[in-house]
Structure 1
Amino acid sequence: MENLSVGEVAKRCGVNVSALHFYERKGLISSARNTGNQRRYGRDIIRRVSLIKVAQQLGISLEEVKSVFESLPKYGAPSHAQWERLASHWQQQLDQRIALLQKLRDSLTGCIGCGCLSMQRCPLYNPHDEAAKKGSGPVFLLQDE
């Protein structure tokens, strides 16, 4: 199978060539070099770069992507079992993020949607900074029901 140039991969994946160089410097992808010392990628790189792009859109850090990619072969396509492990790992994280986003959505909709602005019933009201006893950050949003 023919290897792809950096330009071909960039075009196919919808990223800049500089992004591929960046991903390579970060250890997320690897290339081989031809006799002219130009980067060449196997077609499996398209899946990796696509996964990197999706992960970034979902707020998964490049460090997290790198740690997951370390369990995959450096060159060539991962096995089905390896992709299953990767998917399972991220599925748990994504489920947690989805639950938190839904809770945020529901809290905001309820507060904004009712229009009562009742400080006696509003879950976001914090008399005498009682929330400080529960910890820092958005404690009402993060508390378990």
Structure 2
Amino acid sequence: MKSSEGDSAAGTLSIGAIAARFDLATHVLRHWETVGLLRPARDAGGRRRYGADDLTRVATILIMKEAGLDLTTIRRWFGTSDRATRHDVLRPAADELRSRIAAAQASLELVEGGLNCEHEDATQCPNYRRLITERAGPESWPQSR
């Protein structure tokens, strides 16, 4: 890393450098500090200095937010060293992600069914209709008379 990116002799980064590294606004890092997610060291002038552990923490926050976790849940997860408590914090998020992944996979199958259909109108294709019925459930369709 170049010194122009905020390095110091101690191998820490300035708030601007870490924000640039993760494509964040500096106020986001300040907010995360305010809510207890980050605790950067301070230099003699009181400026924030971020080390390797802070980089890991920022990356973890971003990944967890991308997965749908809110800052309160992330703070609770960071705030415990007890394995069972960490599992209790993350288990609902894992369940929600599994559900979202299953829904996305089912949607992808429908899209691919439409892409692979040779009918003029994919909604008239028996294979596509089967996919729709499987996705929506047979109880969703009116009974034929």
**Is structure 2 residue 39 aligned with structure 1 residue 39?**
no
Q: Which residue of 2 aligns with 1:21?
A: 30
- CA RMSD after TM alignment: 3.5
SS at match of 2:52: coil
Q: Which of 74, 96, 102 is matched with 1:99 structurally? A: 102
For the residues of structure 2 that align with 1:109 and 1:64, how far apart are their CA atoms?
A: 35
The match for 2:69 is: 60
User: What's the TM-score once normalised by structure 1's chain length?
Assistant: 0.57
Structure with larger Rg: 2
**Residues 1:43 and 1:102: Cα distance change in structure 2 (over 3 Å):** same
Distance 2:15 2:29 in 1: 7
The AA in structure 2 aligned to 1:42 is G
Query: Corresponding residue for 1:2?
Result: 11
Amino acid at match of 2:106: K
Task: Give the partner amino acid of 1:24.
Answer: E
Counting helix residues as a fraction of each chain, which structure ranks higher? 2
TM-score (norm 2): 0.57
Report the alpha carbon displacement of residue 104 of structure 1 after superposing the two structures with TM. 3.9
* Contact 1:32/1:39, CA 8 A, preserved across alignment: yes
Q: Distance in 2 between matches of 1:24 and 1:96?
A: 31
Cα distance in 2, alignment partners of residues 39 and 46 from structure 1:
13
Instruction: Kindly tell me the number of residue pairs found equivalent between the two proteins.
Output: 115
CA distance in 1, matches of 2:124, 2:72: 44
The 3-state SS of whatever aligns with 2:49 is strand
Task: Summarize the Cα distance change of 1:32–1:16 in structure 2 as closer, same or farther, 3 Å threshold.
Answer: same
Cα deviations by residue, 1:85-109 (Å, 9 ceiling, x for unpaired): 7xx8565553343123223444566
SS of 1:3's equivalent? coil
User: Higher RCO, 1 or 2 (CA under 8 Å, sep at least 6)?
Assistant: 1
Instruction: Tell me how far apart the structure 1 counterparts of residues 40 and 28 of structure 2 sit (CA, whole Å).
Output: 14
Question: Structure 2 CA distance, aligned partners of 1:116 and 1:62?
Answer: 46
Q: Unaligned 5+ residue runs, structure 1? A: 73-80, 128-145
Q: CA deviation at 1:68?
A: 1.4
In the TM superposition, structure 1's runs of 4+ consecutive aligned residues that sit over 6 Å from their partners are none
